[in-house]
Amino acid sequence: DCEKAYDAWAQVYAKAAFVFQQPDACWFAETLKMVGIFLLDLAIEVDAYTLSSTFPKVTDAASRLSKSAGVAGNDRASQPCAHTKRRAALWLANTSFKAYFKLNNIRLCSTVLGSVENAFKLNAQFADSAEKATVVKSGSAEGLPGEEAYDVAERVTYHFFVGRLRLSQHRIRLAYKELRWAFDHCNVRHLKNLRRITISLTATALVLGIFPSPIILIELGLWAIFGPLMQAMRKGNGAGLLQALEQNREWFRKHGLFLLLSEKLQVGTWRCLVRQALLIYRTRSTDSAAAASPTLPLSDLLILARAAWQDPELTLVDVESIVASLIAQGYVKAYILHSKALIVFQKGERMGLVPMNSVYPRDE
């Protein structure tokens, strides 16, 4: 009976966790790792076999692992990380994150995240002089202070999960920072892991108006998914964007990206459409002196919008409302001159069309 097998192994883990809780039990970290990783793998297999929609075994495993992560992260032994229980904090956190994402219960990740951050602080505080010298010499202090005490592979996994967590919270800049770290430090030989990171990183980048290299997406087999989105956004092609999202709806939903991309990319596409309309208008306008503020009639934008979104029922009021929303959100620095149905843009090289990534606060 597979459920009895899990229950028996859970008791093994319970005893291992009890040993790990004892003073000076850092020597037991590797044994706990072996038992803990198998615990979650077995839980996933059992829940899949029993076709349970509530994932009771994964829930149980997550609870046990997160408690151990707390024990590891809060070990205040005044020694370098390698000689304390803190050495187990990162893999315990990563395994807990894996379980919580499986359960789609990422709210509980915050507690585990706090344990890891505490471990990092203690690692930095109690690092010995030789360890600090090694960090400075190798330049491995990238990331958070105290993080360099862990294996790079564990750190990549950690940044990947934290990036996904921040993305789910719509903390876009923080998500990009974490996912970019994971991407930059992932071993290129591990293509499966690199592809998983790139999926979340690309989605985050597009929200920020950053377009990844097509070569990378092609190499990882992701161009067919993200390429049409990028092309539609650049051109302000709203209908093309919606079509690309709809064609891969289930794929995006599986990766937890559909709602985010549907909301954020439509806004970005409208911003790009405004830019296209302004550039077209200025090429044929006789009133485009350098000293004057750039302007764009709403009627000109309406013509392009109807074509771009393939929606002949769009009205001047609709377009005016959308432009007002873009201005309010900070995507466009301009104002609407209602008496003349005219958009008046900020003077300058960018003509009020600020980079999309500047809309999101740096420290969210």
Instruction: Give the mean pLDDT of 277-295.
Output: 76
Is residue 50 in a domain?
yes
pLDDT at 285 over 80: no
Average pLDDT over residues 42-69: 95
* Beta strands at 295-297 and 334-337: parallel, antiparallel or unpaired: unpaired
Whether the pLDDT of residue 129 is over 90: the answer is no
In this prediction, residue 293 has a pLDDT band, given cuts at 50, 70 and 90, of confident
**In this structure, what are the phi and psi dihedrals at residue 170, rounded to the nearest 5 degrees?**
60, 30
Identify the pLDDT of residue 136.
45
| Average pLDDT of the chain to the nearest whole number | 91
Whether residues 307 and 247 share a domain: the answer is no
Give me the mean pLDDT over the 114-118 stretch.
95
| pTM of this structure | 0.90
For residue 130, the model assigns a pLDDT of 52
- One domain, residues 240 and 332: no
Residues 28 and 132 in one domain: yes
Q: Are residues 338 and 240 part of one domain?
A: no
Q: Are residues 342 and 233 in the same domain?
A: no
Q: Is 165 part of any domain?
A: no
Residues 275, 252: one domain? Answer: no
Mean pLDDT of 298-325: 95
CA dist 109 → 163, 221, 327 (Å): 12, 30, 35
Tell me what pLDDT residue 137 has. 43
Once rounded to an integer, what is the mean pLDDT over residues 127-131?
62
> Is 299 in the same domain as 227?
no
Residue 210 covered by a domain: no
Which sign, positive or negative, has the C-alpha torsion 153, 157, 162, 163?
positive
Report which of 161, 154, 153 is spatially closest to residue 102, judged by C-alpha positions: 161
Query: 223: part of which helix (H) or strand (E)?
Result: helix 223-235
**Side-by-side strand order, sheet with 295-297:** 295-297, 342-345, 334-337
Q: Is residue 172 part of a domain?
A: no
Pick the last residue of a domain from 134, 150, 166.
150
In a domain, 215, yes or no: no
Share of the chain above pLDDT 90, in %: 80
Q: What is the pLDDT of residues 137-184, one digit of tens each?
A: 444 445 567 899 999 999 999 999 999 999 999 999 999 999 999 999
- Asked if the structure places residue 162 within a domain, the reply is no
**Co-location of 134 and 24 in the same domain:** yes
Predicted confidence at residue 347, as pLDDT, reads: 87
Average of pLDDT values for 98-106? 93
Q: Which of 38-47, 234-243, 352-361 has the lowest mean pLDDT?
A: 352-361
Do 144 and 230 belong to one domain? no
State whether 138 and 60 are in the same domain.
yes
Query: Does the residue 190 lie in any domain?
Result: no
Residue scoring higher pLDDT (132 or 80): 80
Q: DSSP string spanning 303-361?
A: HHHHHHTT-TT--HHHHHHHHHHHHHHTS--EEEEGGGTEEEEPSSTTTT---GGGGS-
Instruction: Decide which of 132, 150, 168 is a domain's last residue.
Output: 150
End of a domain among 98, 117, 150?
A: 150
User: Could you tell me if residue 60 is inside a domain?
Assistant: yes
pLDDT-above-70 percentage for the chain: 93
**Could you tell me if 347 and 304 lie in one domain?**
yes
| DSSP tag of 186 | S
User: Residue 286: what pLDDT?
Assistant: 61
What does the pLDDT look like over 223-280, one tens digit per residue?
Answer: 999 999 999 999 999 999 999 999 999 999 999 999 999 999 999 999 999 999 999 9
The band of 103, judged by pLDDT with boundaries at 50, 70 and 90, is: very high
Is the pLDDT at 134 greater than 80, yes or no?
A: no
The yes-or-no verdict on residue 363 having pLDDT over 90 is no
Provide the pLDDT for residue 114.
Answer: 94
Domains in the chain, number: 3
Domain residues for 39?
2-150
Contact call for residues 250 and 256 (beta carbons, < 8 A): no
The domain spanning residue 354 has which CATH number? 1.10.10.10
CA distance 130 to 357: 40
Query: Do 254 and 276 have their domain in common?
Result: no
Lowest mean pLDDT among 43-52, 173-182, 289-298: 289-298
Mean pLDDT of 12-41: 95
Query: Which residue bears the tokens 């999101």?
Result: 360
pLDDT of residue 141: 41
pLDDT for position 292: 78
pLDDT at 157 (0 to 100): 97
